[in-house]
Amino acid sequence: MEKKARSKNRADELIAKIRSRKARPGIIGLGYVGLPLAMVLAENGFTVTGLDISKNKIKLLNSGKSDIDDIPDETVRTAVKAGRFVASDDPRLIAKLDTLSICVPTPLSKTKDPDVSYILAAVDWVKKYLRKGTLVVLESTTYPGTTEELILPILEATGLKVGKDFFLAFSPERVDPGNPKFNTKNTPRVVGGVTPACTKVACAFYKQTIPHVFPVSSTRAAEMVKLLENTFRSVNIGLVNEVALMCDRLKMNVWEIIEAASSKPFGFMPFYPGPGLGGHCIPIDPHYLSWKLKSLNYYARFIELAGDVNSHMPEYVVDRTIKLLNKKRSKAIGASTILVLGLAYKRDIKDVRESPALDVIKLLKDTGAKVLYNDPHCPQFKEEHGIMKSTKLTPELLKKADLILIVTDHKAYDYQWIVNNARLVFDTRNATKKVTKNRSKITLL
């Protein structure tokens, strides 16, 4: 009887431990999701263990340095010096931890099928060292059903029972790299547990560091929430990208149209066109949902159509570049020098995951053009045939290039100076909207 009562009280015991800051949180995966979470926990009085397979990352973090845009070196240094954070590649440390947050990548395969190998590898670590009274939360974006269909059977194979011996939940990461207003500290958390006790414990955990926690009925619901959020963005960006193609045919300025429509105080939310989608979430997450639904004999038409429009934007940008050179410079693309400004997938960060700039550069090179790039945040990147390095931006370089192609609208750029020294500018982000002189050199997407 005493044993049964103890089993029932494990949730309350862990919650009390969490609230008193005696619980030891562990973060598996110290990237754009895991490291910010680790730092927020450390700042709120927890002693955090970060686990990762990269020895270079572990060495960097333990030396007090960060490799994430939104986390300054000083934040990591303070946590390490205070003994609030340590990074390791030793999974045996899991046996000493009370909460485990899985924050590993979830990419797509070449056939756009979910690659859950990183999740499975992390869960294998957890399975070997899982002990009674532990909370396990998956934060990696995935398809509905992953937590209960994939993770739960593996963990229960240990003989421990969910909701009694350990607690399992899903809480989707909502990281927006480079966002100056919303971050891990103030973005509300959605939490869904396998059982009510799991939800209760997971909510208690997140409430220690995040003001607003929104519980849902299940892990499947929480998984679906994240996919809805990014499918919403993908579909609307696909729509406005198609509007941009329409405006090109109709000889209209799509940016003027969007600005005018935005004057309506209700019933309209502005989205903006661009050279394609980038980052780990928006180009990828909707395909997790589409893949899951195909197994249920359902075709997700909006997702597939938006994906098709967005994925072809780099080709459209290159096609427009070719036409601009022919029309305004009387030059063939193969005899031209193109300077690409911006490599990161969005402004003022160094993240190049799924960046449309990578596709644009490859497509331009395939035409035979000489391609250079500049990005103050990305000094180099690995391409198909080696390393490509950022070229120093000088008046001479700008004057030499046949066309300046703005792919990422970093704030560090002086766009008036760029336009003054350029021969021709193709602006895919409306970055030059405040440029007042020499606007005849500019062509907008």
User: In this structure, are residues 416 and 435 in contact, taking their beta carbons and an 8 Å threshold?
Assistant: yes
Q: Which of 86, 37, 87, 84 is nearest to 57 (CA)?
A: 87
Token digits of residue 88 = 């390791």
Token digits of residue 364 = 């331009």
Cα–Cα distance measured from residue 339 to residue 266, given in angstroms and rounded to the nearest whole number: 40
Cα–Cα distance measured from residue 66 to residue 70, given in angstroms and rounded to the nearest whole number: 9
Q: Which residue in 198, 247, 281, 378 is the catalytic one?
A: 281
Cα–Cα distance measured from residue 335 to residue 159, given in angstroms and rounded to the nearest whole number: 67
User: In this structure, are residues 393 and 412 in contact, taking their beta carbons and an 8 Å threshold?
Assistant: no
User: In this structure, are residues 99 and 205 in contact, taking their beta carbons and an 8 Å threshold?
Assistant: yes
Q: At what angle do helices 219-249 and 301-311 cross, to 10 degrees?
A: 50
Active site residue 103: no
User: In this structure, are residues 97 and 25 in contact, taking their beta carbons and an 8 Å threshold?
Assistant: yes
Token digits of residue 112 = 């756009």
Cα–Cα distance measured from residue 167 to residue 14, given in angstroms and rounded to the nearest whole number: 10
Cα–Cα distance measured from residue 103 to residue 249, given in angstroms and rounded to the nearest whole number: 44
Task: State the catalytic residues.
Answer: 281
